[in-house]
Amino acid sequence: MAGLCSASVLLRAGFRVTVLEARNRLGGRILQHELPNGHLIDVGPNWIHGAAENPLMDLARETGTAVCDFDPMTGAVADEDGELLSTVDGAECSMMMWTIFEEAFVHSREHTVEIDPARTLLDFCRERVTATVAGMDGSDKRKGRLLLQMCELWGNYVGSPIERQSLKFFWLEESIEGGMLRSFFLSFCFKPGDIERSLT
For 174, the 3-state DSSP assignment is coil
- pLDDT score for 196: 41
Report d(CA 145, CA 88) in Å as an integer.
17
Report d(CA 178, CA 49) in Å as an integer.
9
Whether 42 and 115 share a structural domain: yes
- pLDDT score for 30: 76
- Among candidates 51, 46, 36, 39, which has minimal Cα distance to 77? 46
Under the banding of pLDDT at 50, 70 and 90, the label for residue 197 is very low
Whether 87 and 179 share a structural domain: yes
- pLDDT score for 73: 58
Whether 7 and 54 share a structural domain: no
Count, residues in the chain: 200
Cα dihedral 25/29/30/33 (nearest 10):
80
Q: Which stretches of the chain are DSSP H helices?
A: 2-12, 55-63, 87-111, 121-134, 141-151, 153-158, 194-198
Domain count, the chain: 2
For the stretch 141-176, pLDDT in tens is 777 888 888 888 777 667 678 898 999 998 887 554
Q: What is the amino acid identity at position 79? A: D
Whether 109 and 151 share a structural domain: yes
For the stretch 56-92, pLDDT in tens is 888 888 887 777 766 655 567 777 777 778 878 888 8
Whether 6 and 36 share a structural domain: no
Q: Look up the domain containing 23 and give its range.
A: 1-30
Report d(CA 119, CA 44) in Å as an integer.
25
